[in-house]
Amino acid sequence: MWRKYIQWEKTNPSGTEEYAHFARRVIFAYEQALLCLGYYPDIWYEASLFQQQAAVALAEKGDVKLAAQMNAEVAQLFERAIGGLLKDSQLLFFAYADFEEERMKYDNVRKIYDKLLAIEQADPTLVSFYLFRCNCFSNYSVKLLWNVLFSLQNTATHFIRFPLHYWENCWRESLEW
């Protein structure tokens, strides 16, 4: 029902020509849906994607101030999701990290990944996190991450050993261990 309502709002039933007004109506529909469907990470993700697309569209139309405000609201939306009902949703953590990485806010990305690694149920096998750290931070932080990944008590840790050892052997000279 909520998805149908959101899709209906996206058809612009009020016929407004102002994109900002249209986007606010759709965002309001998502906010109402989140009140009932707060435990569904896909709704949070869809809401954030729509807001990101709306911010891009507003920036293209020249409303940079409202686009920046909407981007700030996207970050707040992600914080509400991972700080509240969906603390264990890896989808939202990675979507939030990707959003912040696109905005080149690498300190925020680091905090998001640190929060994700602090969750016991989180699966640390995602090597993209490791490669991100390797590409964006110092060799010292890579070595710290290496130690953290192998000290985790999660059962899935053995899945990362092969790719990480392979990567370490390929790039050992460039990392200057």
Worst-scoring range by mean pLDDT, 73-87, 109-123, 128-142, 163-177?
A: 163-177
Judgement on whether residues 102 and 141 belong to the same structural domain of the protein: no
Average pLDDT score over the chain: 79
Q: Give counts: helices (H), strands (E), the chain.
A: 9, 0
CA separation for the pair 5, 146 (Å, rounded): 46
The letter for the amino acid at 130 is Y
pLDDT at residue 158 above 70?
A: no
- Domain-ending residue, one of 98, 119, 140: 119
Judgement on whether residues 102 and 176 belong to the same structural domain of the protein: no
Q: Is the dihedral of CA 150, 115, 104, 144 positive or negative?
A: negative
Judgement on whether residues 61 and 137 belong to the same structural domain of the protein: no
Sequence-distant (6+) residues with CB within 8 A of 123 are 90, 154, 156
> What are the backbone dihedrals phi and psi of residue 83, each rounded to the nearest 5 degrees, phi first?
-95, -10
Judgement on whether residues 84 and 140 belong to the same structural domain of the protein: no
- pLDDT (tens digit per residue) in 5-47: 999 999 988 888 899 999 999 999 999 999 999 899 999 999 9
Q: pTM of this prediction?
A: 0.71
Judgement on whether residues 93 and 175 belong to the same structural domain of the protein: no
Judgement on whether residues 96 and 35 belong to the same structural domain of the protein: yes
Judgement on whether residues 28 and 110 belong to the same structural domain of the protein: yes
Judgement on whether residues 24 and 49 belong to the same structural domain of the protein: yes
Q: How many residues are given for the chain?
A: 177
Structural domains in the chain (count) = 2
pLDDT at residue 176 above 80?
A: no
Judgement on whether residues 113 and 137 belong to the same structural domain of the protein: no
Judgement on whether residues 141 and 83 belong to the same structural domain of the protein: no
How far CA 74 is from CA of 10, 26, 36, 109, 128, in Å, comes to 18, 14, 19, 14, 23
Question: 81: domain range?
Answer: 1-119
User: Is residue 115 exposed (0-12), middle (13-18) or buried (19+ Cβ within 10 Å)?
Assistant: middle
Judgement on whether residues 105 and 146 belong to the same structural domain of the protein: no
Q: Write out the two tokens for 172.
A: 């050992």
- pLDDT (tens digit per residue) in 98-151: 899 888 888 888 888 878 877 777 666 664 555 555 555 555 555 666 666 666
Sequence-distant (6+) residues with CB within 8 A of 103 are 71
DSSP 13: T
